[in-house]
Amino acid sequence: YSSTLIQKIRLLATYNIMRSVKLVSELPNLKAVPCNYYVDNHHKYSSPAIIDTNHDDSLIPIIDFSLLSSKDPHQHSKVIQQLGRACQQWGFFMVVNHGIEESLMKELIGVIKEFFLMGEEDKWTYKGEKMFDPIKYGTSFNCTSKDITTYWRDYLKLSLHPQLHCPDQPNNFRYLRMGSTRVFCTEQ
């Protein structure tokens, strides 16, 4: 993308016309992710990388959570090394054998999708002003620095400990099934 298009998008963000990655991604003339949102190992602002799925090293790393508590020191050490490598090389990973019921995962993913489909003004009521606010909605979209690469994301951070904090909207967020019991979110 030209620096002119990036400047126009940032200008829209400054005036709160475009305040999220979701809105930018819905622009009719947007054909690819703007260059300040991707990096490869060779050049900061090169073309987006094409992932070769024919090689195992292009698959998202999978961490078996149950092995983190393994009594076998070899297994434990191996999963710690895999975890470190996933963080260094990818910055994220998929977790399996974590003990969370599939039905709860589906329920949670559904309610999170509902949250991100809400109107921009409704989502921004949860913007959070401080790092440790129990609920915080935000975006990497309105980053003002031209010299850094940022994540192409909108996010919702929820504090889970010592109490679970959830937004008031969507309504399903207030009541999540957890195993055979129900968990209610704390009041704000």
Tokens (6 digits) for 165 = 């904090």
Q: How many angstroms separate the CA atoms of 70 and 51, rounded?
A: 33
3-state SS assignment for residue 116: helix
Token readout for 140 is 């990497």
Q: What is the pTM of this model?
A: 0.60
Give, for 120, the enclosing helix (H) or strand (E). helix 120-124
90-135 tens-digit pLDDT: 888 888 888 877 887 888 888 888 988 888 888 888 887 787 888 8
The answer to whether 182 touches 172, Cβ cutoff 8 Å, is no
Q: What are the pLDDT digits (tens) for 146-168?
A: 555 566 678 888 877 676 677 87
Question: Helix (H, G, I), strand (E, B), or coil: what is residue 72?
Answer: coil
For residues 137 and 128, give the distance between their C-alpha atoms in angstroms, rounded to a whole number.
Answer: 7
